[in-house]
């Protein structure tokens, strides 16, 4: 297995054999470890000393179900701390198939307005990956829906593409890295934390992979892997949330809109209420029914990446049966919907599509516009005004550049007090005052506010892995700690986080999950071992943050959440600081 280092100062590259201490590290575990080992914590995130690291998971590129994730790690321009953001795409499996355990992009081009593309292929003669560089400056300043087809045309055979959009090129803290989905759409984002701006700072516009002829991922114990794989497939196909035509396959993650609204935990109009009167018009069920009417048949969701049997990715179609947007995740339906007081599904879809086209993170974008609405830039409910603000971000007008810096910066510039961020990153679609455990995750994860870092929504809202009162702070620090550690391992395994539903509820599914990983690596890990592995990832990330000046005192939610009772439950965030501190102290 290789570490492929690409130096953007001299457009050179080198292959290193993976050192023994990294042998069992993949995905988030490896991106975070390399960042911790090699990036000076106090460096400027867009300067020459930051590094952008990609790594696929342990089982990525095998036949393990729903496991085609790719992690991107660096020091974040949004939070100033360590960042791992992941996406599902054929890109991760292709990188892994070429035995590239980590791709590290280093250095800094001398010419600031020049962008390059990287074309990474498998050389059958040397039996190693190789890299060609091409001038990609001509593709800059354009919509990624325009540039992707040009890249597909430029290279022969099946390729996978990672790219940045205008948002990354302009250095926004709110910029992602976009990967292709199965239908060649530029729609799968490692969206959070400004990773797109870091890629742009290296002068990289595209990373194109062609894995043709590559050896694939070695599996040490194939029978064990196979046994685990079958157990996982059974669990995924049985669980009501993940099974075919189940919750995710029918309604996508946007199935959560009505559920969170009912629970009073759907942040509405910049986190001023937990319930939105227009929620049902923006929910997964509404997307399903709208498609049924427009397409004349029921339309079930598709897989974002190879080998996913959950298939949760939706598409909203126009009346003329053309695509309006794919995919509208729950967090996007919320950020452009309830959070802005908008209940027009077509306008929400337009906003999601524009974020994809410009390379913006939908969560950060919606949260930023919510703060701008609070400041009176445009009124709540003004979907056309919101669409216009996204265009301003994409085009880089003065207003757009200010908003592209992210929610916290926009809040400061606009003099807004209700700014829903932690460590500089905007909160996603779950209200901490109505769902206390997720608030603890937002406060304490090294990533800044991030629901995927420890999804306590499972027991607090969905009744997965037991049931827990969302309004009670009792026992939630331990719950968040356990979810964060397990999640850090899932993010390292290469599996999509949505396998959590079946493996948490079905014991044989969890067993299969551990067996798959042991089968690939030849390890003998137990359930305790993988939690310890995840906890170690978190400790590495936390240590980086501390060295970067982000101490335990930053593990807090914004003050307004402790002061303003949130309708309809009229609760404040009442988790004591001691409980927040206990998450890592007792890890």
Asked whether 175 and 200 are in contact (CB, 8 A), the reply is yes
For residue 59, the minimal CB distance to ligand SF4 (Å) is 13
For residue 88, the minimal CB distance to ligand SF4 (Å) is 4
Site string for ligand SF4, 90-129 (x = CB under 6 A): ----------------------------------------
Residue from 77, 70, 163, 177 nearest 115 by CA: 163
Asked whether 504 and 464 are in contact (CB, 8 A), the reply is yes
- H or E segment and range at residue 316: strand 316-317
Sign of CA dihedral 503, 509, 511, 516: negative
Give 159 or 308: the residue with its C-beta nearer to ligand SF4: 308
For residue 102, the minimal CB distance to ligand SF4 (Å) is 21
Other CB atoms within a 10 A radius of the CB of residue 282 amount to 29
Residues 232-271 that bind ligand SF4 (CB under 6 A): none
Give every CB contact of residue 270 below 8 A, 6+ residues apart in sequence.
339, 367, 370, 371, 373, 374, 380, 418, 420
Q: Which two tokens stand for residue 547?
A: 């060295």
- Alpha carbon distance 179, 112 (integer Å): 24
Residues 445-474 that bind ligand SF4 (CB under 6 A): none
- Alpha carbon distance 361, 358 (integer Å): 9
Give 308 or 403: the residue with its C-beta nearer to ligand SF4: 308
Give 257 or 303: the residue with its C-beta nearer to ligand SF4: 303
Exactly one of 60, 121, 311, 441 binds ligand SF4 (CB under 6 A); that residue is 311
- Alpha carbon distance 181, 165 (integer Å): 16
Residue 312 touching ligand SF4 (CB under 6 A): yes
Residues 276-305 that bind ligand SF4 (CB under 6 A): 303-305
Using CB under 6 A, which of the segments 48-56, 308-316, 471-479, 547-555 binds ligand SF4?
A: 308-316
For residue 397, the minimal CB distance to ligand SF4 (Å) is 33
Exactly one of 88, 306, 411, 437 binds ligand SF4 (CB under 6 A); that residue is 88
Using CB under 6 A, which of the segments 106-114, 309-317, 378-386, 528-536 binds ligand SF4?
A: 309-317
Sign of CA dihedral 46, 50, 55, 58: negative
- Alpha carbon distance 453, 500 (integer Å): 12
For residue 580, the minimal CB distance to ligand SF4 (Å) is 30
- Alpha carbon distance 130, 214 (integer Å): 11
For residue 310, the minimal CB distance to ligand SF4 (Å) is 4
For residue 227, the minimal CB distance to ligand SF4 (Å) is 22
For residue 308, the minimal CB distance to ligand SF4 (Å) is 3
Using CB under 6 A, which of the segments 71-79, 155-163, 311-319, 448-456 binds ligand SF4?
A: 311-319
- Alpha carbon distance 298, 477 (integer Å): 42
**Number of residues this chain uses to bind ligand SF4 (CB under 6 A):** 12
* First and final C-alpha spacing in the chain: 31
For residue 335, the minimal CB distance to ligand SF4 (Å) is 17
Q: Running DSSP on this structure, what letter comes out for residue 160?
A: E
Asked whether 497 and 329 are in contact (CB, 8 A), the reply is no
Residues 472-511 that bind ligand SF4 (CB under 6 A): 496, 498
For residue 300, the minimal CB distance to ligand SF4 (Å) is 12
Half-sphere exposure of 574 (CA within 13 A, CB side): 11
Exactly one of 86, 121, 313, 492 binds ligand SF4 (CB under 6 A); that residue is 313
Give 45 or 93: the residue with its C-beta nearer to ligand SF4: 93
Torsion of CA 499, 503, 509, 510, to 10 degrees: 110
Q: What are phi and psi of 17, to 5 degrees?
A: -70, 145
Residue 66 touching ligand SF4 (CB under 6 A): yes
Residues of the shown chain interacting with ligand SF4 in the complex, contacts defined by CB under 6 A: 66, 88, 303-305, 308, 310-313, 496, 498
């Amino acid at each position: 297995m290789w570490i492929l280092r690409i130096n953007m100062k001299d457009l050179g590259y080198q292959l290193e054999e993976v050192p023994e201490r990294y042998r069992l590290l993949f995905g988030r575990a490896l991106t975070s470890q390399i960042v911790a080992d090699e990036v000076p914590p106090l460096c400027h995130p867009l300067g020459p000393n930051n590094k952008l690291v990609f790594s696929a998971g342990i089982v990525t590129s095998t036949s393990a179900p729903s496991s085609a994730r790719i992690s991107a790690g660096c020091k974040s321009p949004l939070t100033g701390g360590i960042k791992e953001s992941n996406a599902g795409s054929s890109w991760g499996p292709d990188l892994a198939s070429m035995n590239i355990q980590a791709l590290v992009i280093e250095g800094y081009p001398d010419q600031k307005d020049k962008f390059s593309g990287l074309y990474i292929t498998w050389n059958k003669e040397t039996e190693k990956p190789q890299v060609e560089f091409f001038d990609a400056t001509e593709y800059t300043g354009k919509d990624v829906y325009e540039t992707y087809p040009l890249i597909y045309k430029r290279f022969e055979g099946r390729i996978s593409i990672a790219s940045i959009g205008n948002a990354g090129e302009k250095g926004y803290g709110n910029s992602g890295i976009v990967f292709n989905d199965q239908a060649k759409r530029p729609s799968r984002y490692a969206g959070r934390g400004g990773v797109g701006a870091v890629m742009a700072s290296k002068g990289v516009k595209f990373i194109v992979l062609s894995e043709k002829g590559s050896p694939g991922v070695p599996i040490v114990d194939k029978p064990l892997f196979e046994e685990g794989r079958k157990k996982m497939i059974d669990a995924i196909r049985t669980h009501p949330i993940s099974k075919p035509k189940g919750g995710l396959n029918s309604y996508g993650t946007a199935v959560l809109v009505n559920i969170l609204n009912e629970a009073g935990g759907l942040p509405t109009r910049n986190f001023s209420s937990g319930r939105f009167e227009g929620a049902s018009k923006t929910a997964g069920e509404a997307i399903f029914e709208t498609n049924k009417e427009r397409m004349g048949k029921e339309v079930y969701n598709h897989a974002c990446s190879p080998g996913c049997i959950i298939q949760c990715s939706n598409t909203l179609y126009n009346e003329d049966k053309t695509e309006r947007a794919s995919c509208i995740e729950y967090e996007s339906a919320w950020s452009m919907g309830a959070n802005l007081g908008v209940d027009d599904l077509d306008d929400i879809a337009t906003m999601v599509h524009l974020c994809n086209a410009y390379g913006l993170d939908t969560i950060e974008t919606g949260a930023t516009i919510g703060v701008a609405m609070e400041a009176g830039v445009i009124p709540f409910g003004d979907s056309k005004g919101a669409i216009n603000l996204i265009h301003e971000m994409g085009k880089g007008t003065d207003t757009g550049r200010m908003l592209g810096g992210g929610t916290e910066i926009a809040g400061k510039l606009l003099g807004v007090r209700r700014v829903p961020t932690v460590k500089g990153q905007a909160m996603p679609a779950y209200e901490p005052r109505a769902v206390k455990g997720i608030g603890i995750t937002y406060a304490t994860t090294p990533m800044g506010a991030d629901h995927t870092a420890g999804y306590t929504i499972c027991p607090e809202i969905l009744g997965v892995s037991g049931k827990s009162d969302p309004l009670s702070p009792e026992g939630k620090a331990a719950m968040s700690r356990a979810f964060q550690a397990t999640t850090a391992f899932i993010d390292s395994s290469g599996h999509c986080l949505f396998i959590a539903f079946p493996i948490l509820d079905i014991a044989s599914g969890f067993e299969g999950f551990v067996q798959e990983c042991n089968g690939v690596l030849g390890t003998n890990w137990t359930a305790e071992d993988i939690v310890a592995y995840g906890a170690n990832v978190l400790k590495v990330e936390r240590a980086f943050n501390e060295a970067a000046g982000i101490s335990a005192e930053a593990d807090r939610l914004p003050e307004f959440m402790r002061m303003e009772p949130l309708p309809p439950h009229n609760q404040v965030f009442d988790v004591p600081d001691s409980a927040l501190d206990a998450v890592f102290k007792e890890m």
